[in-house]
Every structure is written in C-alpha cells, then in structure tokens.
Amino acid sequence: MATDREALADILFRASREVFPLAGIDRIDAAEFDRQTAGESLLVAEHGHRPVGFSSVWEPDEFLHHFFIDPDHHRKGIGRALMVATLMRHGSSLSLKCNTANTRARAFYRAMGWIETEEPGGTSDGTGNWIWIRTRAAAAARGLLPDETSE
C-alpha cells in the first residue's frame, strides 16, 4: 500500500537520523525507501493497523540490512517481537552491520543473543564506523564464536 510505504520511509528517516549523519537530507520518501530495500524481503510491525517498524533482509547473503522501530514506539516490545518474527522467517544465521555509536541498538542485539564479532568493520559513505554483529549460528558458521572455555 502506498501509504504504508510512506510511513515506512518516515520511520527509516526518523529512526536513522538519530544514529547516522544525514547531511542535507530532510526527508526520505517512498521512492528512496524502495531504492534502499530493493530486492529485500520486508517484514512490517504494525500497531493499530499502522506501520511502526520494519526489517529488511537481503536473502542471498542472509544480511539484515534494515531494522528500525518508530522512535515513538521504542521500549514497548515491538523490536523484540519483530526480531523474533524476522528470525522465524529467515532462520537463525543472519548478520548485520551496526554503527559503533549506536549503543542502544548494540545493547538490543546483545540482549537478543547476537554477537559482536572481532571482524574488521569500517566506515561507509560517511555514516560513521560500523561493526559486524551476527547471530550465534552465523558467528559459529564463520568460526567467530568467542572462546567460552577461557577465563
């Protein structure tokens, strides 16, 4: 639905501007949302028949590209429910990149059992430094689980 796409674009803009420098951007419209999620599998969280969050996964790489909750709906369990639904749909071998300064998201992923790996991150397109975060299954498949036997 076109209005849903506009609502999702607004969520993407409002949630991401809290974390990323969006130099000169004062809005993300439905066309830009479509561009950023092209070819990805979308899952939308709703409250009162209104989109309040979404995830988008690039399935060939099992890459969670976007995971955003409307800032007005943080800390209401929506992110947790959306993450569970995303993992149920796509399996437990997902990976993502997260801005290192996004401490709230990093804490959320840790609470959901995801692992920040020691892989080199980087800087991309002026959005700041980022790190890899993987589900336990994705980290294990790459031999990246921390040594849990050492103290």
Q: 83: domain CATH number?
A: 3.40.630.30
Residue 42 in this model has a pLDDT that exceeds 50: yes
Asked whether residue 63 is domain-assigned, the answer is yes
HEC assignment per residue over the chain: CHHHHHHHHHHHHHHHHCCCCCCCCCCCCHHHHHHHCCCCEEEEEEECCEEEEEEEEEHHHCEEEEEEECHHHCCCCHHHHHHHHHHHHHCCCCEEEEECCCHHHHHHHHHCCCEECCCCCEECCCCCEEEEEECHHHHHHCCCCCCCCCC
Residue 126 in this model has a pLDDT that exceeds 80: no
- State residue 53's pLDDT score: 95
Instruction: Tell me the pLDDT band of 27, cut-offs 50, 70 and 90.
Output: confident
Asked whether residue 42 is domain-assigned, the answer is yes
Residue 127 in this model has a pLDDT that exceeds 80: no
- State residue 22's pLDDT score: 53
Domains identified in the chain, total number: 1
Instruction: Tell me the pLDDT band of 120, cut-offs 50, 70 and 90.
Output: low
Asked whether residue 131 is domain-assigned, the answer is yes
Asked whether residue 135 is domain-assigned, the answer is yes
Asked whether residue 151 is domain-assigned, the answer is no
